[in-house]
Amino acid sequence: MRSGITNAEPRSLSEGALVHGTETMKSGINDFAFKLATVNGTGSASSSILLMQAIFRMGVPVSGKNLFPSNIQGLPTWYEIRVNKDGYTARAPQYDLMVAMNAQTYARDVAEVRSGGYLLYDSTWPLDPDLFRDDVTFIGVPLARLCNEHFQGARERILVKNIACAGALIALLNIDAEVVAELLEEKFGRKKALRESNTKALQLGRDYVRENFPCPLPFHLEKMNGNEGKMLIDGNAMTALGAIYAGATVAAWYPITPATSVMDSFKMYADKLRKDKETGENNFIFLQAEDELAAIAMVIGASWNGARALTSTAGPGISLMNELLGLAYYAEIPAVIIDVQRVGPSTGMPTRTQQGDVLECAYASHGDTKHILLFPANPSECFEFAVKSFDLAEQFQTPVFMLSDLDIGMNDWVTPKIKWDDSYRPNRGLVLTAEQLENVRAFHRYLPEEGTSVPARTLPGIHPHGAFFTRGSGHNKYGVYTETPDEYQEVMDRLLLKHKEAAQYVPQAEIVTRPGARIGIISIGGCDPAVREATDILAKQGAALDYMRIRGFPFGEEVERFLADHEFCFVVEQNRDAQLRTLLLLETSVAKDKLRSVLIYGGFPLSAKHVLDAVASQVDEPDAVTSLLEPDVVTSVEEIDAVNR
């Protein structure tokens, strides 16, 4: 072990070398972040998930972000793991430990290590001396050589190298080896050869590090009880479970990243839970359509016939569905659309996260339409809001969109275990039975009871008096074709009233207030962890902001009140064109100058630093911000770390 070596000394690192920077990293027990930089297609995600699961089972709150490319193999990929005993889950802005296993990204990876941090690399090959930093400790472990000496076959050596690296991290971070062994047994219990090769690779990495370096690092893990009553699961799986719980029996879809795993999970759960107990036959329909347009057509047809039906897609799919979404809106047919948002426009970046579909979904289709939107912020709400989507769709006889995103949908989150309420009964809305139709002289599909905006519907075939057909062309309240302006407008006005009434039933905004706050901050969905952490940091510094997370559209009265009660509000969202801000301006009475945009849309999940930087950037403006945010407001990564610690 040698100390004092910096990038000013033109030398390569030998095997087992520990090269210290000039600064020492502060100890952080159960409070640190590390990042694994590898190559797509090498099995790195499996080893990263293994580490995250082990940390979770140690009782330590943990979050993971898989930043992977959209190709099959060969491009850089990163997996970020943040350990935080207080439960903060936003993305870390810099890393205490970087695991640099991809020569293509060495320079970038070295730059992201915080001052006083560590970098683990494969010392089988020398590291370019120009990459050294005075303030970073480099840990060289000859992973490739170890694997080449103990394993046969090029492919196996590539795959087990990541497992050997995980073994090194077990030693450095004090990850419980028994927990890891249990995970391997669960995964490979019936595959002896795989279990033994993975165990061997883990031991190689762990033993080498323990023999050559002081372990653990100053920041490391210690068992705690922070995950009791919780599980590790992604939002797409929870969305599928919510659909099953809500009684969905028809799923039609076309594969698209990042929404495909919604349907993969739905099929898996339906195979277990949607079987006839006596015959063993499926009592659900699972259809892969030829495209998204066909998928939404199948959903609308199934819903018209009385089934609870859904489709899952992303922005490009919503674009294709627009015409038939207008049909469902105008013909008043329930439909549930799960939109797991990704980066656009066009193909965009399919494996990056964004919130770019807000306006597209709010007003989907040509002509005058307004749709119900739900914005979950975590997997728990994906379950809850999936159920709510079906109830709202049938209560108001209209399409309902649940807008998740890639970060929520595809990454694992520490989530409270589901509370399955057997007393739940679906809200089917106003559906006339055969007995009720028997006493109806004439059924008029679009004629609601006086004082209501939602008419009764019938299921085709239950009674001759019911509706067997519907129409997307101009019709009056009796369901008869019309091109008379007054009759057309009467129906359209009622549809608008129906949408406004839905504001009382969508999930209300979640509001956190602080004494003395005159300025607000607003967000939706996946922005929540970063905004929540940022506002906590600001509060510790004496700068109080009230926080409102919008969870549904149309907006309720609480949104109007929040906007009116604050001098101005920051609106944090992940798109270029300030779509949430635009929707607020269009659908509330707020003045334009009271909403200030914070826009981060590069495709990675937000960190608290994004929010803090955006707020701090306006402290020099001659307005209320100056009096609220004093000059010592937190603005740097180092200050964030100091406040959190």
Would you state the pLDDT for residue 507?
98
What is the enclosing helix (H) or strand (E) of 437?
helix 434-438
Task: Calculate mean pLDDT across residues 41-59.
Answer: 91
pLDDT at residue 154 in the model:
83
Provide DSSP, 359-427: HHHHT-SSSS---EEE---SHHHHHHHHHHHHHHHHHHTSEEEEEEEHHHHHSEEEEEPP---TT----
pLDDT at 13 over 60: no
What H or E segment, with its residue span, contains residue 117? strand 113-122
17, pLDDT greater than 60: no
pLDDT of residue 524: 98
pLDDT-derived band at 446 (thresholds 50, 70, 90) equals: very high
Q: pLDDT at position 1, please?
A: 33
The band of 246, judged by pLDDT with boundaries at 50, 70 and 90, is: very high
- Is residue 8 predicted with pLDDT exceeding 80? no
Q: What is the pLDDT of residue 58?
A: 98
* pLDDT surpasses 50 at 22: no
Contacts of 19 (CB under 8 A, 6+ apart): 2, 3, 5, 13, 132, 137, 138, 140
Mean pLDDT of 54-61: 98
Phi, psi for residue 505 in degrees, rounded to 5: -115, -20
- Average pLDDT value for residue range 604-623: 80
Task: Tell me the pLDDT band of 156, cut-offs 50, 70 and 90.
Answer: confident
pLDDT of the residue at 411? 97
Q: In which band, very low, low, confident or very high, does the pLDDT at 19 lie, cut at 50, 70 and 90?
A: low
Residue 464 in tokens: 């001759």
Q: What is the pLDDT of residue 159?
A: 83
Mean pLDDT of 399-409: 98
Q: How far apart are CA 470 and CA 515, in angstroms?
A: 54
Residue 591 has pLDDT above 60, yes or no: yes
pLDDT bracket for residue 24 (50, 70, 90): very low
Quickly list H helices, 213-279.
Answer: 235-246, 260-273
**Residue linked to tokens 């739905």:** 266
518 within 8 A of 567, measured Cβ to Cβ: yes
pLDDT at 488 > cutoff 60: yes
φ and ψ at residue 19, rounded to 5 degrees: -105, 115
Please write the tens of the pLDDT for every residue from 327-351: 999 999 999 999 999 999 999 999 9
Mean predicted lDDT score pLDDT of the chain:
91
Q: Which helix (H) or strand (E) holds 192?
A: helix 192-212
Q: Residue 619: its pLDDT value, please?
A: 57
Question: Is residue 7's pLDDT more than 90?
Answer: no
User: Is the model's pLDDT at 194 over the cut of 90?
Assistant: no
Rounded average pLDDT over 606-633: 65
Between 27 and 541, the higher pLDDT residue: 541
For residue 468, the model assigns a pLDDT of 86
Interval 267-301: pLDDT, tens:
999 999 999 989 999 999 999 999 999 999 999 99
Percentage of residues in the chain having pLDDT higher than 90: 81
What band does 538 get if pLDDT is binned at 50, 70 and 90? very high
Regarding predicted confidence, which is higher, 252 or 24?
A: 252
Q: Which of 318-327, 490-499, 611-620 has the lowest mean pLDDT?
A: 611-620
Instruction: Sketch out the chain's domains with CATH numbers.
Output: 18-212 (3.40.920.10), 233-416 (3.40.50.970), 434-504 (no CATH), 510-644 (3.40.50.920)
pLDDT at 18 (0 to 100)? 52
- What is the rounded distance in angstroms from the CA atom of residue 223 to the CA atom of residue 145? 33
* Whether residue 637 has pLDDT greater than 80: no
